[in-house]
């Protein structure tokens, strides 16, 4: 791996910035950022400020709590520093980062905080922010991802969003959206709060709705623990279940791609494309829930999900010039459907719930990536059930009609959809990809639902609108090549805007607003000279000189 590439591998024993402790039904995650252990050496992570490396560890901690510790029902996130909870994203890190790194950094931190909210809402693990010092910018945004915020009443600790007045950017991790949509802070008060660099403390923070309560320092820790126990008592998480270890991923890397046990990623730099080949099961490897739990993180679908998640993150940060992600698959469709049946039959089990929601978040991560998504359904494919989500999330899906003459042993491909595609894997706007695909076309949606469980040939899939185009053997290779060459010839910026506007139809949610509005605006603001120019706020911060702004409102 190149020295400048981002690596997402970590584990609690390797953490440099977090302390993870367990006490029966409660986990405590303490932020203790090491100033000299940033991903680069041109900044120091002072005052519990963070860079991508800090958040990589946080994301790992969230995953381990969810999968390795089912007994945990409440998580307290706090600081090991009694005066500073978290100062937010490190300013020198942002000032010295490439544009693509800044945007992807914000996107990843957003997704990590979404996974915290997902745990609270769907799998019964309540996250509580014990803000035992000042929380500024991204530090307050981290607290906002929790279900409750308890602020220490020590006459000095505040919550604040200093980005607009001091840095000429926006709170990049969903803070503005969460303040008004999640905490229901009045819009005029939110406006005041977002330009008051010194922040709000004590009773006023409670009155405005910025925190849930303030507690004197003398009994702060005791109160937080008691409150966490009360929330844990209401959780549906099991008390005596055994977790599964998230073992290190088996991955080989080269200039030409990535290779995992269940996923190969091949780079075609001439086409500016990465070909993801998903290896489905060749037979029904798991017959019941007990065997699934015995396999743990080697269970095929969970292992594949982890590999897809890892590959998507690596390509986002390390391969920005790869324009298109092309999904292909091999394997036994019946074995994939049998896996779906096993999960559906045990839908209430804690581990099945975690696997389901991890798949949901991984599919969402693919859609939230600024890449053209293409799915190729060919002979030997297993795009059925859960894996059919990769057909539905694609910007373009092509399916071969018939077979390839030189592959006599491989039958013509087919797609199978089921209730799982209509219920389990919601997009960020809280509707399924089927509902999104047929938004405003209820009759067509009902036709597709009547076809659940059927093997849809290319002609069937074309008739129902499940795929974009079908081609025969004569045209296949040429049409795929033309599509990928065309995508590579367009402006990446225009394609990102085009695809983001088309992918998320229908209702808006807090999460969809964060990615559709905030990410787009921050993408633009991060290129404006008022923020990143020679006299911009990010460059001037900490130098003693004031930024110089272009005063036009554009």
Q: Which residues contact 384 (CB under 8 A, 6 or more apart)?
A: 333, 336, 337, 414, 415, 416, 417
Active site residue 319: no
Our answer to whether residue 163 is catalytic in this structure is yes
Q: Sign of the CA dihedral 215, 29, 148, 85?
A: positive
CA 57 to the chain's CA centroid: 14
Which token pair is 139? 């530090």
Pure H helices in 407-470: 419-423, 433-437, 442-450, 458-464
Tally: H helices and E strands in the chain: 23, 20
Q: Are 239 and 188 in contact (CB under 8 A)?
A: no
DSSP designation for 347: T
Contacts of 550 (CB under 8 A, 6+ apart): 529, 530
**Distance spanning both ends of the chain, measured CA to CA:** 42
Per DSSP bridges, beta strands 126-131 and 273-279 are unpaired
Instruction: Return all residues near 445 (Cβ < 8 A) that are at least 6 apart.
Output: 434, 435, 438
Question: CB-based contacts of 144: which residues, under 8 Å, 6+ apart?
Answer: 113, 129, 174, 175, 178, 179, 182, 183
User: Out of 163, 354, 389, 401, which one is annotated catalytic?
Assistant: 163
CA distance 284 to 263: 18
Phi/psi for 176 (5° steps) reads -60, -40
Q: In what order do the strands lie in the sheet with 200-201?
A: 84-86, 134-136, 158-160, 200-201
The active-site residue, picked from 57, 71, 111, 141, is 141
Q: Which long-range contacts (CB under 8 A, 24 or more apart) does 13-20 make?
A: 15/57, 15/60, 15/61, 16/53, 16/57, 17/45, 17/50, 17/53, 17/54, 17/57, 18/54, 18/57, 18/58, 18/61, 19/80, 20/61, 20/64, 20/65
Between the alpha carbon of residue 333 and those of residues 265, 281, 303, 410, 509, the distances in Å are: 21, 8, 18, 13, 34
Q: What is the dihedral of CA 31, 428, 311, 260, to 10 degrees?
A: 110
Q: Count Cβ atoms below 10 Å from residue 174 Cβ, excluding itself.
A: 29
Contact 68, 246 (CB under 8 A): yes
- Whole-angstrom Cα distance, residue 249 to residue 58? 18
Annotated catalytic sites, by residue? 141, 163
């Amino acid at each position: 791996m190149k020295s400048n590439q981002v690596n997402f591998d970590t584990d609690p024993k390797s953490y440099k910035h977090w302390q993870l402790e367990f006490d029966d039904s409660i986990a405590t995650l303490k932020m203790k950022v090491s100033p000299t252990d940033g991903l680069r050496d041109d900044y120091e992570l002072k005052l519990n400020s963070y860079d991508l490396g800090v958040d990589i560890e946080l994301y790992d901690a969230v995953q381990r709590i969810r999968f390795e510790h089912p007994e945990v029902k409440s998580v307290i996130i706090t600081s090991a520093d009694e005066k500073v909870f978290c100062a937010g994203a490190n300013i020198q890190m942002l000032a010295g980062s490439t544009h693509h790194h800044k945007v992807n950094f914000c996107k990843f931190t957003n997704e990590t905080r979404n996974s915290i909210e997902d745990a609270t809402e769907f799998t019964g693990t309540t996250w509580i922010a014990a803000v035992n010092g000042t929380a500024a910018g991204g530090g307050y945004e981290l607290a906002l991802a929790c279900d409750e915020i308890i602020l220490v009443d020590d006459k000095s600790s505040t919550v604040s969003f200093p980005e607009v007045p001091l840095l000429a950017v926006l709170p990049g991790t969903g803070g503005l959206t969460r303040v008004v949509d999640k905490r229901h802070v009045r819009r005029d008060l939110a406006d005041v709060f977002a330009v008051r660099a010194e922040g709000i403390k004590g009773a006023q923070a409670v009155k405005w709705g910025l925190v849930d309560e303030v507690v004197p320092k003398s009994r702060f820790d005791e109160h937080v623990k008691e409150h966490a126990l009360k929330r844990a008592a209401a959780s549906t998480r099991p008390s005596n279940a055994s977790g599964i270890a998230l073992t290190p991923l088996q991955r080989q890397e080269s200039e030409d791609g990535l290779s995992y046990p269940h996923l190969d990623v091949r780079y075609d730099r001439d086409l500016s494309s990465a070909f993801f080949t998903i290896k489905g099961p060749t037979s029904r490897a798991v017959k019941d829930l007990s065997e699934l739990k015995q396999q743990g993180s080697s269970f095929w679908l969970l292992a594949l999900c982890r590999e897809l998640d890892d590959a998507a993150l690596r390509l986002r940060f390390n391969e920005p010039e790869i324009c298109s992600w092309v999904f292909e698959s091999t394997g036994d469709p019946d074995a994939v459907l049998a896996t779906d049946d096993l999960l559906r039959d045990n839908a209430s089990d804690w581990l099945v719930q975690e696997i389901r929601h991890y798949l949901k978040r991984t599919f969402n991560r693919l859609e939230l990536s600024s890449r053209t998504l293409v799915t190729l359904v060919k002979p030997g494919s297993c795009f059925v059930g859960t894996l059919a989500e990769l057909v539905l999330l694609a910007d373009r899906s092509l399916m071969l009609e018939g077979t390839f003459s030189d592959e006599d042993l491989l039958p013509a491909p087919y797609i199978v959809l089921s209730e799982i595609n209509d219920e389990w894997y919601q997009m960020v706007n809280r509707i399924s990809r089927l509902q999104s695909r047929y938004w405003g076309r209820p009759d067509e949606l009902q036709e597709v639902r009547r076809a659940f469980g059927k093997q849809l040939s290319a002609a069937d899939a074309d008739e129902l609108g499940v795929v974009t185009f079908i081609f025969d053997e004569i045209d296949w290779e040429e049409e795929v090549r033309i599509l990928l060459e065309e995508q590579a010839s367009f402006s990446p910026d225009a394609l990102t805007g085009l695809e983001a506007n088309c992918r998320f139809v229908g209702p808006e949610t807090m999460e969809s607003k964060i990615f559709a509005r905030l990410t787009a605006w921050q993408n633009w603001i991060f290129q404006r000279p008022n923020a990143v120019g020679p006299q911009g706020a990010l460059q001037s911060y900490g130098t003693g000189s004031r930024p110089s702004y272009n005063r036009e409102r554009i």
